[in-house]
């Protein structure tokens, strides 16, 4: 602080504290923090003590997620009544720490009347979506997920998606793969089936596979398109046609999303519900904007796209944003930086299509799959650490994540 006497007052207090509570500024802050308040924030950040922020870290803009001059670096943020947008966009994820929503007694009906759409996914609301398993059930009771995936050098993506669907509880999973890669994929998969189709000379999906793939999709409960399919022009044209004609719930991921670059209007012609699972780069290409544009307004970008094209969007990243065509918005609290590695997105795609195959609605499958995916990553990080985490580590912990969600334990 500029005032030495003030520093002499605060320094002993900070040293004697086990943790600090930040309640300096609230959601109304709209100008850079200056003067004594800035000095106090600086001292708190330098104290080395854990900081619990009330509602949001002081100095963070509640709407934009921008730091207004200086901001508290919180270990935990207890946001009141409803999540604040700024906690999940801009600088928010970097300074908010772990985020919890605190009930301050506002009746739920008032929150609905106030039209505050953003929700934080929580176990109590997701637990009821998990399919019940009767003792007399058989593999046909839990759906048949179809996955259209793979190209030369990317059969691993197809395998990861298939295993994700199985780990999420799908009774049967079959992967449609260019015929020249079928043997490779079969060597990677024991529990899932394969369905070889016509491929291009470079082992992409060929346009001649269209009728076979439509028959394939018609016999499935839900379908995913995209993991590892590449961006050959022949494959791009094929995917656009499949998107229009497939009649079962559909998950579009990775290069399946990239095929829509310049063709997003095709989504309006889809006959089935569609879930898109882009990372920020894919979303930026889809919209023709920069990644920074997406990251600076993640909630707005996802929400507008979902409404405009009548789809569900799972915009991946720290604080994955989920948006529905009806205006529903949610943020996922689970997951960690260790999951920023190749293959984890393919696992998520598989989990969502696996849940769709079991009868969940698109919104239920997107929310439940995303939460469980992050929780599996958190369990894997607890066991192995974040650095060096592999997508296959998540596959090992998904059943445990489901078991924990089914229980009454107080999860994230």
The mean predicted confidence, pLDDT, of the chain is 93
Residue 99: alpha-carbon gap to chain centroid:
16
Q: How far apart are CA 251 and CA 256, in angstroms?
A: 9
**Do 332 and 343 touch, CB atoms closer than 8 A?**
no
All domains in the chain, ordered by first residue? 4-116 (3.40.50.10260), 127-406 (3.40.1190.20)
Band of the pLDDT at 69, cuts 50, 70, 90?
very high
Q: Give the per-residue pLDDT at 106.
A: 80
pTM reported for the whole predicted model: 0.90
Which residue in 293, 287, 315 sits closest to 303, CA to CA?
Answer: 315
pLDDT digits (tens, 9 = 90+) for 149-203: 999 999 999 999 999 999 999 999 999 999 999 999 999 999 999 999 999 999 9
- Token digits of residue 353: 């299509």
Q: Give the per-residue pLDDT at 284.
A: 98
Q: What distances in angstroms separate CA 223 from CA 116, 130, 158, 338, one per listed residue?
A: 33, 19, 13, 28
**Do 311 and 276 touch, CB atoms closer than 8 A?**
yes
Q: How far apart are CA 187 and CA 177, in angstroms?
A: 13
CB-CB neighbours of 285 under 10 Å:
17
Band of the pLDDT at 4, cuts 50, 70, 90?
low
pLDDT greater than 80 at residue 3:
no
Band of the pLDDT at 63, cuts 50, 70, 90?
confident
Q: Give the per-residue pLDDT at 265.
A: 97
CB-CB neighbours of 406 under 10 Å:
12
Q: How far apart are CA 98 and CA 284, in angstroms?
A: 27
Q: Which of 11-20, 28-37, 265-274 has the lowest mean pLDDT?
A: 11-20
Which residue in 50, 226, 62, 222 sits closest to 154, CA to CA?
Answer: 226
For the segment 200-213, the average pLDDT, to the nearest whole number, is: 98
pLDDT greater than 90 at residue 115:
no
Which residue in 323, 329, 334 sits closest to 82, CA to CA?
Answer: 329
Please, how many CA atoms are within 13 Å of residue 169, restricted to the half-sphere of its CB? Answer: 24
Q: Which of 16-20, 60-64, 115-119, 377-381 has the lowest mean pLDDT?
A: 115-119
| Bridge pairing between strands 193-197 and 20-22 | unpaired
Tell me whether residue 214 is exposed, middle or buried, using C-beta atoms within 10 angstroms of its C-beta: 0 to 12, 13 to 18, 19 or more.
middle
Q: Give the per-residue pLDDT at 403.
A: 96
Q: Give the per-residue pLDDT at 88.
A: 83
**Do 213 and 181 touch, CB atoms closer than 8 A?**
no
Q: Report CA dihedral (250, 251, 255, 259) to the nearest 10 degrees.
A: 40
Band of the pLDDT at 11, cuts 50, 70, 90?
confident
Q: Give the per-residue pLDDT at 410.
A: 46
pLDDT greater than 60 at residue 5:
no
Question: Torsions phi, psi of 137, nearest 5?
Answer: -70, 155
Which residue in 108, 113, 89, 107 sits closest to 99, CA to CA?
Answer: 89
pLDDT greater than 70 at residue 384:
yes
Share of the chain above pLDDT 70, in %: 95
Q: Give the per-residue pLDDT at 296.
A: 85
pLDDT digits (tens, 9 = 90+) for 327-380: 999 999 899 999 999 999 999 999 999 999 999 999 999 999 999 999 999 999
67: which strand partners? 60
Residue 212: enclosing H or E segment and its boundaries? Answer: helix 210-218
Band of the pLDDT at 19, cuts 50, 70, 90?
very high
pLDDT greater than 60 at residue 114:
no
């Amino acid at each position: 602080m500029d005032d030495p006497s003030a520093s002499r007052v605060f320094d002993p207090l900070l040293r004697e504290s086990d943790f600090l509570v930040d309640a300096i500024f609230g959601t109304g802050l709209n100008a850079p923090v200056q003067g004594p308040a800035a000095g106090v924030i600086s001292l708190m950040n330098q104290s080395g003590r854990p900081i619990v922020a009330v509602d949001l870290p002081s100095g963070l803009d509640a709407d934009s997620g921008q730091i207004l001059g200086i901001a508290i670096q919180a270990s935990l943020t207890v946001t009141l009544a409803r999540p604040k947008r700024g906690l999940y966009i801009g600088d928010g994820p970097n300074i908010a720490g772990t985020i919890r929503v605190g009930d301050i007694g506002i009746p739920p009906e008032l929150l609905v009347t106030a039209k505050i759409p953003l929700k934080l996914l929580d176990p109590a609301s997701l637990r009821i979506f998990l399919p019940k398993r009767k003792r007399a059930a058989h593999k046909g009771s839990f759906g048949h997920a179809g996955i259209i995936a793979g190209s030369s050098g990317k059969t691993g993506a197809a395998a990861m998606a298939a295993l994700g669907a199985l780990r999420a509880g799908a009774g049967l999973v079959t992967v449609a793969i260019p015929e020249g890669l079928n043997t490779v994929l079969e060597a990677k998969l024991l529990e899932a089936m394969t369905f070889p189709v016509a491929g291009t000379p470079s082992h992409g999906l060929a346009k001649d596979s269209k009728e076979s793939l439509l028959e394939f999709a018609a016999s499935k409960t839900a379908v995913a398109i995209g993991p590892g399919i590449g961006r050959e022009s022949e494959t791009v044209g094929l995917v656009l046609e499949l998107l229009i004609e497939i009649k079962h719930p559909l998950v579009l991921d990775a290069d399946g999303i990239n095929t829509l670059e310049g063709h997003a209007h095709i989504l309006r012609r889809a006959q089935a519900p569609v879930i898109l699972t882009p990372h920020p780069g894919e979303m930026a290409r889809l919209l023709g904007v920069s990644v920074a544009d997406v990251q600076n307004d993640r909630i707005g970008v996802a929400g507008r796209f979902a409404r405009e094209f009548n789809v569900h969007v799972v915009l991946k990243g720290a604080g994955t944003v989920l948006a529905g065509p009806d205006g529903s918005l949610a943020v996922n609290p689970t997951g960690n930086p260790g999951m920023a590695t190749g293959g984890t997105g393919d696992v998520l795609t598989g989990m969502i299509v696996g849940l769709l195959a079991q009868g969940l609605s698109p919104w239920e499958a997107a929310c439940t799959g995303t939460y469980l995916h992050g929780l599996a990553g958190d369990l894997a990080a607890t066991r192995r650490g974040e650095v060096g985490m592999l997508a296959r580590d998540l596959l090992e912990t998904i059943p445990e994540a489901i078991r924990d969600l089914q229980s009454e334990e107080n999860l994230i």
